[in-house]
Amino acid sequence: MGMGMGMGGGGMRSVWSQQRSLSQLKDGQIPDVRKTMKRVWLGLLRPYRKNLLIGTGLVAIGVIIGLVPPLLLRRLIDQAIPQGNLTEVVILALGMLLFPVAGSFASIGQNYVNTVIAQRVMADLRHQLYSHGQRLGLDFFTWSRAGEIHSRFINDIGALQQVLNGTFTGIIASVFTITFTFATMLVIDWKLALICAVALPSFAFPVLHFGRRRYQATQETQQELSRMTILLEETLTLSGSIVVKSFGTQQYENERFKAANESVRRAQIHQTLVGQWLSVVVQALSTLGPALLYGYGGYLAVTHQIKVGTIVAFAAYLGQLYSPASNLAGINTTVLGGLALFDRIFQFLDVPVAVPLPDPGLDIPALVPGQPVIRFEGVEFAYNDNAHVLHGVDFSVQSGHLVALVGPSGAGKTTILSLMARFYDPTEGRVYLHGEDLRHLNNDAFRKLTGLVTQELFLFHASLYDNITYGTPAIEAAAVDRAVQAAQLAELVDRLPEGMDTVVGERGYRLSGGEKQRVAIARAILHNPEILLLDEATSSLDSHSEHLIQDALGHLFQGRTVVAIAHRLSTILAADQILVVDQGRVVARGRHQELLAEGGLYRVLYEEQFGSQAKEEDSVPSL
């Protein structure tokens, strides 16, 4: 839909800027954790609660299995070995082998569930981002860089994988392990258990301190990755590469990328070091427990209050107690860092839809005889808080008529056509189709009824056949052939090395401007709309291509209601009504001879823009 939208976009620019500013931290504070986590749970995790329940069950099984080996070790040291019971020694040793193996299988199942949930959530997020992007208005894409949008899909969601994989059941596993392990220790010797637990509260400090820094570091890293992605999108595409080579700025762009790459490197090092410092602090705190255990436990053993096997078992449990505590610290820091990623994704999802679609909307009513197909009634339009570009526009288009829009550049012609295509909604007034407000109509039905051929033509990096049949993939081959003939493309198809299967290149770069326009016309013929909206710019075409396109448009116009921004004299002469647009107002209307006789702006435009065409097109029949 390559409409030229140079006049607008300020509205969504301000919205996007506002949304972007909301993602920035102020005074180093962490955003509303509860709000974000609630949104993650309700919007992303809740559909997979059964999987989470299965993962929780596997975690519980794994934790319980992990509690058994230290008990076996305690019995081995305190009873089996001193009593010389070789049978019991073998059984206990075998149990110390089999229980960890069983725990490994539970861990494999747990990791599988983690991975499944994480990948499904990431797929859901990508789909939500894409669906929301499809609903956003043209203003958003006018003022947003493609690389910034793509960064949400690639960098932000990709970085979530580590967060999601290690978080879902990781927190549950750590909580279960700490709870069950400490309960077992209390049963064995409550005094020694309390001594070993003295260091546990100290793990809260690194979580609070490094969590805030991890969030900020993650935000910084993702922003720098976004900037680098934008640079890649702008300079390593066909259009960007042509500009760079044309101006000989390869070295300049290399320096820009070098600077962006360096910023990413520094940000990622900073993010990694935050995690490393957390690990160092946690490891230092972890030494406090063993020191207390062996000091106080040694005293109890020397005074014959406990046996050595109990101390050994407690040492094993201490590892199971402090390791998940360290993991909780790391996981919580990871979660806080992950919130920065979720916030950036939610930022995109929260961008408001400027042109909301009714669900499902009204069916398009039948056209009443004598009723206009399209009617503008008191239409005012402004791109959000910018000055109005249309002022009180009123006109009607009758069925089967050709209406031409003429006027100087920037007069508002493209905006009028965009409102007809419902790329925007009027700020004031109404646009009616078959007597019903466009805003109330079913979007799919509206798109089937209308067709658009734009000034800026976009072709996909696909075969010529796929580009022509885009929007009508199930069309019969005979219909495609008729469209190719009607659009004057037969000569091109014969000339291409693989005919209709030839790949046209990025944005159709292998085709000329006139050939791309004729592909767009063939696409519109296959779409077979009742209403055709056309921006027929031809300033860059040679005379041969011009005549071919005129012949193609002759086929396209037949039996349709057409509204065209006119750049051809033949369209002006054939128009049932000409609307002269100036500074956002329809200043004159009528047929060619009537307006020419009135003089004024139309005569000036005719002499400036179409006078030179008159001699060239004298021999061309009117459409």
Q: What is the pLDDT of residues 380-394, one digit of tens each?
A: 998 766 788 999 999
Q: Which two tokens stand for residue 19?
A: 């949304």
Amino acid (one-letter) located at 151: S
pLDDT above 60 for 615: no
Ranking 201-205, 339-343, 400-404, 547-551 by mean pLDDT, the lowest is 201-205
Q: Is pLDDT of 620 > 60?
A: no
Residue 282 is predicted with a pLDDT of 64
| Backbone φ, ψ for residue 251 (5° rounding) | -65, -40
Say what the pTM is. Answer: 0.72
Find residue 406's DSSP bridge partners.
580
What pLDDT is stored for residue 280 in this prediction? 67
Looking at per-residue confidence, does 27 or 367 come out higher?
A: 367
Measured CA distances, 347 to 28, 219, 240, 611, 614 (Å): 19, 13, 28, 52, 54
Query: Picking from 71-85, 288-302, 595-609, which range would have the lowest pLDDT averaged per residue?
Result: 288-302
Higher pLDDT, 143 or 2: 143
For all residues of the chain together, what is the average pLDDT? 79
User: Tokens 């106080």 appear where?
Assistant: 296
Which fold would CATH assign to domain 374-616?
Answer: Rossmann fold (3.40.50)
pLDDT at 391: 93
Domain boundaries, the chain: 15-23+31-349, 374-616
Retrieve residue 394's tokens.
Answer: 């009123």
Q: Using pLDDT thresholds of 50, 70 and 90, give the confidence band for residue 210.
A: low
Res. 16: pLDDT tops 70: no
Residue 125 has pLDDT above 70, yes or no: yes
- State which fold the 15-23+31-349 domain adopts: ABC transporter transmembrane region fold (1.20.1560)
pLDDT above 80: residue 421: yes
Q: What is the pLDDT of residue 15?
A: 39
Q: Residue 487: is its pLDDT beyond 80?
A: yes
Three-state SS annotation for 232-300: HHHHCCHHHHHHHHHHCCHHHHHHHHHHHHHHHHHHHHHHHHHHHHHHHHHHHHHCHHHHHHHHHHHHH
Give the other-Cβ count within 10 Å of 577's Cβ.
17
State the Cα–Cα distance between residues 86 and 519, nearest whole angstrom: 87
Quick check: 573 pLDDT over 90? no
pLDDT score at 395: 95
Q: Between residues 24 and 312, which one has the greater pLDDT?
A: 312
Looking at per-residue confidence, does 149 or 261 come out higher? 261
**pLDDT the model gives residue 228:** 83
Give the model's pLDDT for residue 489.
87
pLDDT score of 175 more than 70: yes
Q: Confidence class of residue 18 from pLDDT cuts 50, 70 and 90?
A: very low
For residue 106, is pLDDT > 50?
yes
Please state, in angstroms and rounded to a whole number, the distance separating the CA atoms of residues 477 and 466.
12
**pLDDT tens-digit profile of 73-87?**
888 888 888 888 888
Picking from 240-249, 259-268, 602-611, which range would have the lowest pLDDT averaged per residue?
240-249
- pLDDT at res. 420: 93
What's the Cα-to-Cα distance from 521 to each of 75, 498, 536, rounded to whole Å? Answer: 86, 21, 10
Task: Please report, rounded to a whole number, the percentage of residues in the chain having pLDDT higher than 90.
Answer: 15
Q: In this predicted structure, what is the pLDDT of residue 114?
A: 83
Q: Residue 541: is its pLDDT beyond 80? A: no
pLDDT band at 276 (very low <50, low <70, confident <90, very high): low
> Averaged over 316-328, what is the pLDDT?
74
What number of other Cβ atoms are within 10 A of residue 138's Cβ? 19
Residues 530-539 have a mean pLDDT of 78
Residue 469 CB neighbours (<10 A): 21
Nearest to 340 by CA among 12, 23, 596: 23
Residue type, 461: H
Q: How much is the pLDDT for 9?
A: 36
> Which of 50-64, 291-305, 578-592 shows the highest mean pLDDT?
578-592
Please state whether the peptide bond connecting residue 365 to the residue before it is cis, i.e. omega within 30 degrees of 0.
no
pLDDT, residue 399, reads 92
Q: What percent of the chain has pLDDT over 70?
A: 81
